[in-house]
Structure 1
């Protein structure tokens, strides 16, 4: 899913999990489910809804409250420390994608993270200085809104002072891309790294991107 470029791009927004890093939340949840004898699909679905509906994804609930609610809904008994470590271990940052971000930024185009995330993203930044590669970071946990709402995209565009048609959003979730496209943003689906590089090269022909 890539929208046809009609305007020069001034800002590129990148999702974090699934684009800049592996899907630590999803992968971690599924490992926890298997270890505890739960159905991975059902466990992931329940945890995801608690994360959003319970307010953890938008900073209205703490990590401890998230895990406690998940315990109540599923019967999970593992210690929070172990659960936290399982999730964090899955967020393997894709260094080649940070090189892609750096190349785009060096060309004069602004870059930003636009992610539905939590305090986990801040912990990763503390360890790896991820934020230094971007002009701005939009973390739903701090912004108080998620990509389930068009308002999050409008908010990010206003903050970056860019029109929708001059912004590109890169995400691995088609639903998020659909919402971004509905307000006029250009979009690019992250599926296979090599294909993504090809699409980015067509959008930024003067940028020298790192090899996959």
Structure 2
């Protein structure tokens, strides 16, 4: 678990290696724990923020009164604490954005997926997530959401596959056999691997 965490930051912008299932899912667990801690910390902070000034702002009949109410709300210690907590959450998301993407790409490659297929699956699943946030009643939109949603599911399944599962599949496999050992990693010449076996994480 600790080794996976270290490898996550060590390979911050490494899009060329491969990552085992253990490395990938231990990092996901770390992310879930961090998110739970952040939400648990947010609940009491939200309870401290009073709604009196919010109501005053909503009922303000002039811009001056609204600005005054907003200023009082922002300058409350609980409001400052809330803004600080939100900034922490935002910074955390920004910090893990690139290494999280790099880890996912390495996990796909470790499962045996060819580079072109890796970026295709990731790109289409990303588009699917974007489309799901929009709204439309057209048949084309529903077909696109369903199609890209399928790729999102495929990307999830790829993270569950063992090393080299797709390596020899014609068309989508990269054709190289990755070997994770206790002391070293035997790597194909076409890309670099920077981690060890599942059992050591």
TM-score range, shorter chain: 0.3 to 0.5
Which structure features the higher share of helix residues?
2
Q: TM-score, normalised by structure 1?
A: 0.32
